[in-house]
Structure 1
Amino acid sequence: MSGSAPLTGPAAPAPVVHPPLPVPRALAYMGASVMLALSQGLGQGFVSANIPQIAGDLGITAAQASWLMAAYMIPRASLPLLLIKIRTQFGLRRFAEVGIVAYVAVAFASVWISDFRSAVVVQALSGAAAAPLSTLAFMYMLEPLSQSWKMRLGLPAAMAVMMAGPTLARVVSPALIGDGGLTWMHLTALGMAMVSLMLVFRLPLRPVPHMKVIQALDFASFLLIGFGFAGLTIGFVMGPIHHWTDAPWIGALLAASAAALAIAVAVELNRAAPLLDIRWLVSPAMLHLTATLFLFRLILSEQAAGAPRMFQALGVAPAQMTGLFAVIVGASLLGGLAWMRPDRVPALHLAALLLIALGAFMDAHATVDTRPEQMIVSQALIGFAGMLFLPPAMMAGLVSALARGPQYLLSFVIVFISTQSLGGVLGSGLFATLIDHRQAAHYAALTEQLAATDAPTAQTIAGHVAALAAQIPDATARRAQAAAQIAQDASAQATVMAYNDAYLLTALIALAAALALVLHLLRDRLALRMAPAPEPDTTP
């Protein structure tokens, strides 16, 4: 971008090339990356996967417990704004040591949670402490690898483990919770945090040059953007729970968030050394990448907010879903470990979109009798496709950012983290809203068909009444119970039909995105063929 100011004031130091590490030590660094990634991933997954159990343990409603997820996600989305500058100014080793110590302290505090207020505070601190852990997981995976293998192996491996963490939490949570509440879950998180602490101090990251890059106005921009991200997170977590219009404060909060982000953009555009290079972020290439990442995260909400919640609504216990989530974890790791080259990115994206469309279309045929083992293939396809897409997308963005200079790395990192954190929250909120609306519509249609004067309905009620004769002596009570059972069956059927609608919509969106990608590739190929041939060099 011609004429743009550097992002961080002074020129960024030249990259430091370290000699390769011995193989055993290199494996130790990669093992530390896996432990760091699993620590932060499981910490997030333990909350999202166990909202009902947390609500019961704290004596609060499920709606109140959802505030814990919002409190965790707010700093995860906004704190990376400052982390790279903090790391650059104060040094890599100090950043790593302070970050992991803070994470252990918060994990220790979570063991002693006893009420709702303390739980919200600890979850907000957990999200803040987990943000540096994501960065450290990437650093430790990339540290021992050569420059070419950092992109081909390090980046997808670190991302695969990080993205698999929340799903892995659903695999191990039932065994940890058991009959003893949430204590073992918190102790497991604390134990992993302490192992991570040992690894960070035992395997220090090699130093890189650091310099003063933080400016006073960075904090003002951070507060504005942080408030905007926080408002969006709270709005899309709590909006579906309160049916959006039942809580007027949600609309006011979203409006205030939009205003804060607009002011932040105005501030950044008029700074000589902005926290974010807005002009570069709104360039056609970056807008295309941002829209792609955001759309894909919305599509992947089918897996995060689809099957688990549908089975929960059908009364399937978490322990019965561990096999399904274990397969999803394995498929995700397999997809993330596919070696890549930049010229493969469009093909990988197209394959991922087609696999998601196939998996979602298979899910769209669910019934009230569908159980987790019947969705193993479809969910494995979606999990594999998700990790087939994200590492190439991140690699393409990193290559584009580094081509313009190391100082552009921060802007890209913010784009990536924001689209993934906010995209996940917004996607889950929109998915839940769609389910609520479709479920109400299907239930209304079913209840119209189940009029008491209808002959098939009367026969069904009579069958239920006869089945309850041995349990309920009173005839009126038996008939009321039979009618209630039919209404409950209709509600379950309406819920499954609503999820089928959402799955089918996901498949159609994925197919539309795949078609758009094919047209884009054809346009590029046609433009390349129609471009005039270069004139021959006649220089003597």
Structure 2
Amino acid sequence: MTPRATSSGRVEDSTPTPSAEAAEPAAKAEQAPPAPPPFPHSVPRAAGYVAAGVLIGLTQALASGVIIGNLQFVAGEIGATQLHASLLVAAFYAPRASLSLFLIKLRTQFGLRPFAECSVAIFALASLIGLATQDLRSALLVQFLAGVASAPLTSLGFLYVLEGLAPKYKMNVGLCLVLTVMMSGTTLGRLIGPLLSDIGVDHAFAVLSLGLALICVALVMRFPLTSQPRVKVISWVDVVSYSMLAIGFGGIAVVSVSGVGYWWLEHDWLGWTLAASIGCLAIMVAIELNRDSPLLDLRWITSPPVLHFTGVLLLFRLILSEQSLGGAGLFQKMGLATSQVAPLYGLMLLSSVLGGAVCAFIIKPDREGPIHLFALVLIGMGAWMDSQSSILTRPEQMFLSQSLISFASGLFLPPALLAGLTSALKKGPNYLLSFIMIFLTTQSLGGLMGGALFNTVVSIRQKIHLGYLTDGLTITSPQVADLIGRGTAYMAVIEPDPSLRAAEALSQISQQIAVQAYVMAYDDVFAVIAGIAALMAAALTLHLIYMAVASARNKSSAPVAG
């Protein structure tokens, strides 16, 4: 085309120009974000990362689960009473309650690969030292080292599973897989405990821990994590502040584990430990509130939404103590061996895995409310069914109720973690550390405090029921005399002395009454937990209705385009 003259004398090019409609796709193409980089790992290598993460998480879970679930066996190995052996749990959780927080900064400053290699190596060394334990003192030292060494394994399990998954699977399959594995430690520990005790190997639990740790070392060396840039983030004020936090959380962990066994008001050291813990936490708060770059953003942590989130997680840990402590404690008081309860533990483990698998398919950022509501309903149903237990109840009668609670536990935690991570990242990367502290504290320290509250209420209610059952009963009462007569008749063949037969029969009657009082106490606590779950479900239902109504109003009041 040639230029042409206009009436005004200007010359115009008659060549047609592209229309706005034709230019718009090109502009959009130029502004479109670059395509995401391809997934860097082959399928076999990605599977190796996922397998490494699962094994690391399982090793960390069993490190605590074996001790908690088999305390009587561990006490026998070191020649300690079960009361004294409970200090092993305190020694394990005292450093672990807070150490994961500081390890995040260590990982950022010194690099991910050295962090991973050192972490599993230290855990393997702690497991090796565990083979040399001979008494309570050495066992306490080993458990303290194991608590220190297992703390980094929590984050390593997450990192390895997320490394092996494509981005679209990280926040659903990854979260659910790792959390399911880490929550199964106590149940799995109780399930394999009798098997380890029956093989006749000294320090069988330490041998298992060492074997798993060495496999983890090999996997970490074979599958290194993707390197991240190192940033100097640790200052001397961080060290001082964290030291106060560690002492405070560690003291609370010790008091929570030991308070029921030694009883809260009967030993002065419990009170002094708790007072020192509160004092250290107060110092940490004073330091953090006056820093420009705090280790923890306490103002954000104490904001209403975050306090609400923290309260929900703590209540969740409380109602889940029905399973972690309730069923196992009830059957232990009844005198059932761990091997007799093993089928129940196996079913609980299977239900928990199934719950995590279902959660991986349905989890989305906007679905945490309905998922939590369904989980609370299941927990309430299971706890209410357990509250009908009697002295004749056996593990088979709890198959359904405990399966419901295990399934609900696999459903509850991943959506809560996803919602918290999303909220923290919206505020900025600096808030991620504060959120991780909240999450880990509610799961470790909150679990110990929930267990302490559960066992305290059981102990108080057992004494009340025991008083009711024995009120008015004397040796000369017709009911007691009849029971003593039956008992002495049964023992006539093995005990010729009538007075000893009567004393033994009376002792057995006292034990049966005490067991009956414990069953009634556990039923009371199960009913309370069912009530708490029902109240939480009702409150969540009202909240969901309110949010739905508010969303509908916002949509109706929004201006219509065009």
Q: Deviations over 1:307-349 (max 9, x none)?
A: 1121111111111122111111111111112221112100110
Q: Hey, what does 2:544 align to over in structure 1?
A: 521
Q: Hey, what does 1:436 align to over in structure 2?
A: 459
Gaps of at least 5 residues in structure 2 are 1-35
Find the partner of 1:108 among 121, 125, 128: 128
Q: Which deviates more, 424-433 or 246-255?
A: 246-255
Q: Hey, what does 1:256 align to over in structure 2?
A: 276
Q: Distance in 2 between matches of 1:452 and 1:177?
A: 41
1:404 aligns with 2:427: yes
Sequence identity (%): 44
Shift of 1:471: 2.8
Q: Distance in 1 between matches of 2:337 and 2:133?
A: 25
Q: Which deviates more, 179-188 or 514-523?
A: 179-188
Shift of 1:67: 1.0
1:306 aligns with 2:326: yes
Query: Would the aligned equivalents of 2:465 and 2:517 in 1 still touch at CA under 8 Å?
Result: yes
* CA spacing shift, 1:301–1:84, aligned 2, 3 Å: same
Q: Which deviates more, 336-345 or 293-302?
A: 336-345
* CA spacing shift, 1:408–1:182, aligned 2, 3 Å: farther
Q: Hey, what does 1:6 align to over in structure 2?
A: none
Q: Hey, what does 1:3 align to over in structure 2?
A: none
Query: Would the aligned equivalents of 1:20 and 1:144 in 2 still touch at CA under 8 Å?
Result: no
1:494 aligns with 2:517: yes
Q: Hey, what does 1:12 align to over in structure 2?
A: none
1:320-359 equivalences under 5 Å are: 320-337=340-357, 338=359, 339=361, 340-359=363-382
Q: Distance in 1 between matches of 2:410 and 2:374?
A: 11
Shift of 1:497: 0.8
1:274 aligns with 2:294: yes
Shift of 1:449: 4.5
Q: Which deviates more, 34-43 or 475-484?
A: 475-484
TM-score, normalised via structure 2 length: 0.90
1:446 aligns with 2:469: yes
Shift of 1:524: 2.1
Q: Distance in 2 between matches of 1:536 and 1:313?
A: 67
Q: Hey, what does 1:470 align to over in structure 2?
A: 493
SS for the counterpart of 1:174 is: helix
* CA spacing shift, 1:18–1:105, aligned 2, 3 Å: farther
SS for the counterpart of 2:262 is: coil
Q: Hey, what does 2:406 align to over in structure 1?
A: 383
Query: Would the aligned equivalents of 1:37 and 1:165 in 2 still touch at CA under 8 Å?
Result: no
Find the partner of 2:103 among 83, 92, 96: 83
1:287 aligns with 2:307: yes
Q: Hey, what does 1:419 align to over in structure 2?
A: 442
Amino acid in the other structure paired with 1:293: L
1:363 aligns with 2:363: no
Query: Would the aligned equivalents of 1:464 and 1:482 in 2 still touch at CA under 8 Å?
Result: yes
Q: Hey, what does 2:7 align to over in structure 1?
A: none
Q: Hey, what does 1:533 align to over in structure 2?
A: 557
Q: Deviations over 1:41-77 (max 9, x none)?
A: 1111111122112222212221211111101011111
Task: Give 1 or 2 for the bigger CA radius of gyration.
Answer: 2
Query: Would the aligned equivalents of 2:186 and 2:324 in 1 still touch at CA under 8 Å?
Result: no
Query: Would the aligned equivalents of 1:43 and 1:189 in 2 still touch at CA under 8 Å?
Result: yes
Q: Distance in 2 between matches of 1:226 and 1:284?
A: 25
Amino acid in the other structure paired with 1:522: I
Amino acid in the other structure paired with 1:445: Y
Q: Distance in 2 between matches of 1:202 and 1:479?
A: 68
Shift of 1:156: 0.8
Query: Would the aligned equivalents of 1:20 and 1:146 in 2 still touch at CA under 8 Å?
Result: no
Query: Would the aligned equivalents of 1:46 and 1:170 in 2 still touch at CA under 8 Å?
Result: yes
Q: Hey, what does 2:20 align to over in structure 1?
A: none
Find the partner of 2:53 among 30, 33, 57: 33
Q: Distance in 2 between matches of 1:216 and 1:18?
A: 41
Shift of 1:470: 2.6
Q: Distance in 2 between matches of 1:92 and 1:388?
A: 30
Q: Hey, what does 1:235 align to over in structure 2?
A: 255
Query: Would the aligned equivalents of 1:177 and 1:183 in 2 still touch at CA under 8 Å?
Result: no
Find the partner of 1:146 among 150, 159, 166: 166
SS for the counterpart of 2:557 is: coil
Q: Hey, what does 2:114 align to over in structure 1?
A: 94
Q: Distance in 2 between matches of 1:21 and 1:403?
A: 29
Q: Distance in 1 between matches of 2:47 and 2:497?
A: 71
Find the partner of 1:160 among 180, 183, 202: 180
Q: Distance in 1 between matches of 2:289 and 2:250?
A: 22
Shift of 1:522: 2.0
Query: Would the aligned equivalents of 1:20 and 1:145 in 2 still touch at CA under 8 Å?
Result: no
Shift of 1:534: 2.6
TM-score, normalised via structure 1 length: 0.94
Query: Would the aligned equivalents of 1:42 and 1:168 in 2 still touch at CA under 8 Å?
Result: yes
Find the partner of 1:56 among 73, 76, 79: 76
Query: Would the aligned equivalents of 2:66 and 2:185 in 1 still touch at CA under 8 Å?
Result: no
Q: Distance in 1 between matches of 2:499 and 2:92?
A: 50
Q: Hey, what does 1:4 align to over in structure 2?
A: none
Shift of 1:537: 5.8
1:169-208 equivalences under 5 Å are: 169-178=189-198, 180=200, 182-208=202-228
Q: Distance in 1 between matches of 2:439 and 2:222?
A: 30
1:67 aligns with 2:87: yes
Query: Would the aligned equivalents of 2:50 and 2:165 in 1 still touch at CA under 8 Å?
Result: no
Q: Hey, what does 1:222 align to over in structure 2?
A: 242
SS for the counterpart of 2:253 is: helix
Query: Would the aligned equivalents of 1:57 and 1:181 in 2 still touch at CA under 8 Å?
Result: no
Q: Distance in 1 between matches of 2:441 and 2:197?
A: 32
The structure showing larger relative contact order (alpha-carbon pairs under 8 Å, at least 6 residues apart) is: 1
Q: Distance in 2 between matches of 1:346 and 1:476?
A: 65
Shift of 1:530: 4.2
The aligned length equals 523
* CA spacing shift, 1:475–1:118, aligned 2, 3 Å: closer
